[in-house]
Every structure is written in C-alpha cells, then in structure tokens.
Amino acid sequence: MPAPINHEDFSLTTPYGQVFARCWYPNNQPQPLAPIILFHDSLGCVELWRDFPSLLARATQRTVVAYDRLGFGRSDPHPGDWSNDFIRQEAQRYVPLVRASLGIDRFIAFGHSVGGAMATHCAGLFPQHCLALVTESAQAFVEERTVLGVQLAKEQFQQPGQIERLRKYHGEKAPWVLNAWTQTWLSPTYAGWAIEQTLPAISCPHLVIHGEDDEFGSTQHAYRYASLTGARSELLLIRDCQHVPHREQPQTVIDAVCRQLSNVN
C-alpha cells in the first residue's frame, strides 16, 4: 500500500479574517512544480474534498492546496459585502492574499462547480502566473436546469435535520452558506449572469470536465467553457456521472489532469 501523503494545515491572516488552508505534499515535502490550487463548490470546504487532494498530489507529483473561502468551513465568517459579483471578487480580492500567505507564484487552478468559475477568473486575471486551468461541473450561465437543481436542494434542506449536514462542516455559518448559494442563484437579479461577462482573455491550456448527467447543468456549460481559451482545450464528458466527477469517477478525473499537466512545469 502506498505511503500516506503528508498534509499541513494553515491559518492565514488577511484583512478580511482568518482563512483556513491545507497543503498536501507528495514525497512528504513541497515540490518545485507549480502547485494545484483547488476551488470548492457553493456548499463545499477543504474537508469535503475528502481524499481527492491526496490522490491528486500523488498522481501529479505536485503540491495540492485547498482553502475554505471566507464564510465556509474553518475560515472566519464572510465580511458581509456579498454581491452578484462574488465570483470575480473571490479571484480578484481573496486569491492573491491566499497565494501571498503561502508563497505561491505560479499555479494550476482547479475549480469544482462555482469554484470552476472562480478558477477561470484567476486564469484571466493572472495570465503570467496561472499555467493551466481545470474546470469541473462549472456553470457558464444560469440555465433552467441549474435553477431547478438549486430549488430542489433548497427544499430538501428545509426538511428536519438536513441543515445539520452543513453544520458538520461549516458550524454556525451553515445557514449563511445555504442562503448565499440558494438566494444568489434563485434571484431574478442574477438570471442574466454568464461566465463571459467581465472575464479577461484566457491564454493557458484548459481541461473542461463535465458529467453527462449533471443535475445542475447540461453539457452546454462544458462547451461554453471549452471555447474560452486561446490555447489548447480538452473537453471531457463523462458518462454515468452527475455533478461531482472527482468523487464519482476519481481515477477518470485524475488521469485527465495528469495528461493535461504532463508538459506544464
């Protein structure tokens, strides 16, 4: 059995609050290759990546970094200026603070769901530093299927005991986490959002991963993402897969990432 991948936890001080981060090190130490930064989904956090970061670190031989956005997981509550521009704001305001605190210069951006949109903005905003982009189950626009999926999830969380599933990971911030997700995506003021709005040009290689049975978005999203970069783009549509490919078919995802990064230093 392979030796476990070592990880290290950090509490990063920012002007907006403490941010929790974790780094997984292949060969038990940081590696010289550009690390992979993971961006979690709307209800996610570091812990909800489960064993995927460790598997990814071993397969790619790169340090893998994940952090809890403010308001999520073990990070401090969100500072309170949440807006419809939260995706770009995450990339523009908070990611540079995380990178500076951890001493990260060049990096690979890997984002799941709304984290994919955030990773994409990082690729556009920091073209000299983001060497490659991986988006998984990322939304490109507010589709009817997306709205219906969020509405169904909201109704399910109103059932007795369901909010406790979120409290396990987000503590007392759990109601805010749920509201930030559902109220944003169900708001009429957000209905016109699309990934292309205010997005700078992307020039790095891009791997687009999407489950064909994703309950929160059709494959239209994947094709939109695949058209964003001026560099090499690979589109991977996974059969018999829903919204969380890295949990449902982890080896398929890891193999694709390894191919994508084989020529990236």
In a domain, 264, yes or no: no
Pick the more confident residue, 90 or 264: 90
In a domain, 151, yes or no: no
**Is residue 1 over pLDDT 50?**
no
* pLDDT at position 265: 78
In a domain, 176, yes or no: no
**Is residue 225 over pLDDT 50?**
yes
Rounded Cα distance between 45 and 19, Å, is: 11
Tokens 């996610």: give the residue. 44
In a domain, 86, yes or no: yes
* pLDDT at position 198: 85
Range of the domain at 208: 6-141+195-258
The pLDDT tens digits for 108-119 are 999 999 999 999
In a domain, 231, yes or no: yes
Total domain count, the chain: 1
In a domain, 204, yes or no: yes
In a domain, 32, yes or no: yes
In a domain, 190, yes or no: no
Q: Which residues pair with 14 in a beta bridge?
A: 17
The pLDDT tens digits for 12-53 are 999 999 999 999 999 877 678 999 999 999 999 999 999 999
Residue 85's CATH number: 3.40.50.1820
The pLDDT tens digits for 6-22 are 899 999 999 999 999 99
pTM over 0.75: yes
